[in-house]
Amino acid sequence: MTPTEELNSLMNWMFSEGLLDQQFQQLQMLQDASNPDFVSEVITLFCKDSEIILAELTKLLRDQPVVDFQKVDAYVHQLKGSSSSVGANNVKLACIHFRQFYEENNKEGCFSSLNAMEREYFRLKDKLGTMLQLEQRIQAYESSKHN
Amino acid sequence: MHRLLFFSAAAGSLLPPPPPMAALAISSCGRRALLVDDNVINRMVVRKLMEEQGIALEEAENGKEAVELVKEGRVFDLILMDREMPIMDGPQATKQLRSLGVTTPIVALSADAMQSDKDSFLQAGADDFVEKPLNIDKFALVLTKYGLQDGQADQ
């Protein structure tokens, strides 16, 4: 399989598994010659932001004797918004699922939901990393063809 | 075939700092918009949508900042207002802007808001409600509806 075929196969899989949705395609459509790094910039910021949020949620749920559910909700709301904006579908759904436990002030439920959110996020991040590597291989090949 | 992303070689490294909150893009037609949203990634996407249309964009992280911008004399052709924000939320900010005499179209943005939330936002003075995330098609509809589509501004 060529890198291009591999990339297409990976992307198709990511969409069919719900890791990505149509919003990601919208980001791709916004990328052009004047801003060729737009998608990678958005994704990089999303990853950085998400990991900060997940770390803060872990602190709030695990390290505090009394859980500040308002702060927890604020963070989950942020992550839900970001994941929705980049097309990170399963992460977004995990955030929506999380909120039902917050509404019940259910600490254990929130914690297990946080684990699910982390799993989905890192699963997505891993595949985005693979996508990057394939892109770079394709770019390198295209550059060598023109030289 | 999925469009290639062409990640930059620097992808994964620290990004340059985001533009200042009151950054203005160069506009070919004098159209100006205000985006009020506390989420940095949402702002990044909408900023790109606005750039594609050549609309000058200012940004505020919450309703209070938006109200302050207007009090400073900033005038806009369109305001996109998120619902849930710290310090001052969208409906409160909308109410205050209307009490200041602002007649600019205000389009409320929110994800999975209940009907009662939408109603309260519209009652606060918003003209319209659009579900997030904002994409190319929804954005085009908003621009057309409020006369900001490229070419419409000259009519």
Complex confidence, ipTM: 0.88
Q: Which of B2, B36, B48, B138 to mutate to test the interface with A (most CBs of A within 10 A)?
A: B2
The answer to whether residue B120 neighbours chain A at the CB level (below 8 Å) is no
Confidence of residue B29 (pLDDT cuts 50, 70, 90): low
Whole-number pLDDT of residue B18: 44
- Quick one: tokens of A62? 């695990």
**With the CA atoms of A53, A56, A58 and A64 taken in that order, what torsion angle do they form, in degrees rounded to the nearest 10?**
-150
| pTM of the shown model | 0.85
The answer to whether A75 and A82 have CB atoms below 8 angstroms apart is no
Looking at every residue in chain A, the average pLDDT score rounds to 92
Question: Which residue in A37, A46, A96 is closest to B41 by CB distance?
Answer: A46
Q: Which of A74, A76, A89, A75 is nearest to A120 (CA)?
A: A89
CA angle B123, B53, A50 (to 5 degrees): 70
Residue A138 CB neighbour total at 10 angstroms: 18
DSSP string, A33-71: TTBTTHHHHHHHHHHHHHHHHHHHHHIIIII-SS--HHH
- Quick one: tokens of B3? 């469009």
Q: Tens digits of per-residue pLDDT, A96-107? A: 999 888 888 888
Confidence of residue A63 (pLDDT cuts 50, 70, 90): confident
The answer to whether residue A48 neighbours chain B at the CB level (below 8 Å) is yes
The answer to whether residue A68 neighbours chain B at the CB level (below 8 Å) is no
Question: Which residue in B9, B15, B51 is closest to A45 by CB distance?
Answer: B15
| Min distance B61 CA to chain A CA atoms (Å) | 13
